[in-house]
Every structure is written in structure tokens, then in C-alpha cells.
Amino acid sequence: MKLKDIYKNPKKPVLTFEVFPPKTQEGLDNLVKEIERLKKFKPEFISVTYGAGGSTQGRSLQLLERIAKEDKIAVMPHLTCIGSSPESIQKFLDIIKGWGVESILALRGDIPQNIPDYVPESDYFQHASDLVKFTKENSSLDIAVAGFPEIHPEAKDQAEDLKYLKLKVEKGASTVFTQLFFNNDKYFKYLELARKIGVNVPIIPGIWTLTSQLQLKKIFECGAKVPAELLAKFEDPKYSDEDKRNIGVESAIAQVKALVKYGVPGIHLYTLNKAEYVSRVIKNAL
Ligand code: FAD
């Protein structure tokens, strides 16, 4: 089903998951088991991340094919464009088309920092809006894009960031998935400002269940803020690792409950390739 149909007046919030391609066969074998556990929640689709500069393309494709063909769950591939040539993007679009994929998450991505000899294939794509335009012109895929309730780290301010969100929608995006956030008020404000400038497509909240202090670095890099009370608990040695996992799960449950009460059309859960914590969130909040 197309994204625009999935999010058109759903009876209850549409549940979707994000996974990433593991680096090893062992990681893949584990993920297969975790997906088996996630399957019982009947997600509408699972999205699969894509490494900066195409660095995980092979592994992303392998995982997408496996979920689509063997788990028989619909997939939404993420696709980044910075540094890629139109030819390699077209090749990716053609491959996934062969598997009946109906939508992608079109992203700019970031120049990879951890590949010292990285050489971009091309400078054809500069922004996600270029990829939206290209995908619209060269495929029949439905297109989602990223949105940042706490402002993209490179943006001058929220008004500028929203202007470019609007451009992505004007070029053909039908749905927005947000960067993780922990304070629902940031999402509500973002929604209000987006509507005010005429962005009227569904904006689906992306929810991260914080389960370890080690995750904080990655979260801060994304530009997301962790509420002071939650952060203090994760930094307090008084709490064991298990206490922290429980605190993070309880926080995500409260967050999702409030979003559902507000009437969001969907909840996109960042699983970090583990079923346990998001399962607890779903059972208690949805
Ligand atoms: P853009 O929309 O291009 O925006 C990037 C910056 O440029 C923003 O500051 C924006 O305001 C500005 N901008 C946009 N258009 C213009 C313009 N025309 N002129 C000037 N400035 C402009 N990364 C991965 O590598 N792989 C993934 O799988 C992945 N999945 C993600 C999933 C979600 C839901 C989210 C929210 C992010 C994901 N990311 C992923 C991270 C993303 O690639 C980075 O945040 C990246 O820095 C920006 O990508 P974008 O698509 O938002 O870019």
C-alpha cells in the first residue's frame, strides 16, 4: 500500500519499525529472530536504514530482500543521495521495484566521516529535495522525507529548516518521518509551524526507547535533547543498567501514550534491532 493510503484516516495509529543492516552474519541471524518477535505486532512496514555515502548499500539490499520475501512484511528502504550518482540511485530504485516495494524514505545523508579514502561518485545531489525530485521523475514510488522537530543541526533556525521541509513536499514527498525526540511539545510545535506554512502531509513521530547511557552520544549528534530529569537518571550511578532500561521504557510508554491521545496517525519506532524494549512500549501504550 502507498504511504498516502496507509495514513489516510487510520482507525488506530499505524505502527511501523526501523531496523539497520547488521555488519556481521551473526548480527543478521539475531535480527532475523528479533523481526520474528516484532512480526506479531503486525507492523504496516519496516524501514531499513542506509549507510552514509552508500556504505551499507549491499547489506541494506540484502536485509530489505529478506524482510520483503521471507518475512513477507512490507519494507520502506531509506536512501541517501549525497555523493551518489544518478545512475547508482536509479539502479537502487530499479532493484527495489523488482520486489514490489512501494515507498522510500528519501534522505540527503551525510558525507561519511569514518571512511578515510571516501571519494564521492558525483555532486549531482546536494539536498534531499533533489532526491525527491529525481525519484518522482524516475519511478512510481511513494516518497517520504525526514523532519526535525528540534531543528536539523546544520539549519540556521527552525523557519529555514521548515522552508526546506516544505520544498521536499512540493517536489513530491507525501509523508514526513521525524527525527527522534523525547519532548512531545517539540513535536506539537513543529506540527503547528509546519501546518502554518502549508505543509499538510502526515508527520509521523519517530520514537526512540532510551535503554543505555552509551546511546546518549548518538542522540545528541542527531540534535535531539534528552529532558533533564531523564538525563540525570541515566547519568546517576545510583541506578543500575537494568534500572536505566526500565526508566527508558517507562519514559517511551508515557511519550507514546500522550502522542496516541493527541491523535497522531502513526508511531514509527526505532528498534535498534531489538524487539524486547519496543515490545514493552507497544504492549503498554498502543
Ligand atoms: P535535507 O533535507 O537535505 O536537509 C539537510 C540540511 O540542509 C538541513 O539543515 C536543511 O535545512 C538544509 N537544506 C535542505 N534543503 C536545502 C536547500 N535546498 N538549500 C539549502 N539548505 C537546504 N542518515 C543515513 O545516513 N541513513 C539513514 O538511513 C537515515 N535515516 C534517517 C531517518 C530519519 C527518520 C531521519 C530523521 C534521519 C535519518 N538519517 C539517516 C539522517 C539524515 O541523513 C541526516 O540528518 C542528514 O544530515 C540530513 O538529511 P535530510 O534528508 O534531512 O537532508
**Ligand 1 centre distance from Cα of residue 146 (Å):** 6
- Per annotation, catalytic residue among 18, 34, 44, 150: 18
The alpha carbon of residue 263 and the mean position of all alpha carbons in its chain are separated, in whole angstroms, by 20
Give the distance (Å) from ligand 1 centre to CA of residue 112: 13
18 is catalytic: yes
Strand order in the sheet with 142-147: 203-204, 175-178, 142-147, 103-107, 75-80, 45-48, 14-19, 266-270, 206-208
Q: Which of 50, 107, 118 to mutate to test the pocket of ligand 1 (most atoms within 8 A of CB)?
A: 107
Question: CB of 179 closer than 6 A to ligand 1?
Answer: yes
What pTM was estimated for this model as a whole?
Answer: 0.97
The answer to whether the CB of 50 is under 6 A from ligand 1 is: yes
Atom index in ligand 1 nearest the CA of residue 206 equals 34
How far are the Cα atoms of 20, 24, 63, 138 from residue 28, in angstroms, in the given order?
10, 6, 8, 32
- Quickly count: other Cβ atoms within 10 Å of residue 100's Cβ: 10
CB of 177 sitting under 6 A from ligand 1: yes
All residues at 6 or more sequence positions from 104 whose CB lies less than 8 Å from its CB, including other chains: 76, 77, 78, 79, 93, 96, 135, 141, 142, 143, 144
91 Cβ contact partners less than 8 Å away, ≥ 6 residues apart: none
Rounded CA-CA distance 101/81 in Å is 19
Q: Ligand 1: distance of its center to the CA of 240 in Å?
A: 35
Q: Tens-of-pLDDT digits for all 286 residues of the chain?
A: 899 899 999 999 999 999 999 999 999 999 999 999 999 999 999 999 998 877 788 999 999 999 999 999 999 999 999 999 999 999 999 999 999 899 999 999 998 887 888 889 999 999 999 999 999 999 999 999 999 999 999 999 999 999 999 999 999 999 999 999 999 999 999 999 999 999 999 999 999 999 999 999 999 999 899 999 999 999 999 999 999 999 999 999 999 999 999 999 999 999 999 999 999 999 999 9
**Ligand 1 pocket, residue 146 CB under 6 Å:** yes
What is the CA(147)–ligand 1 centre distance, in A?
Answer: 8
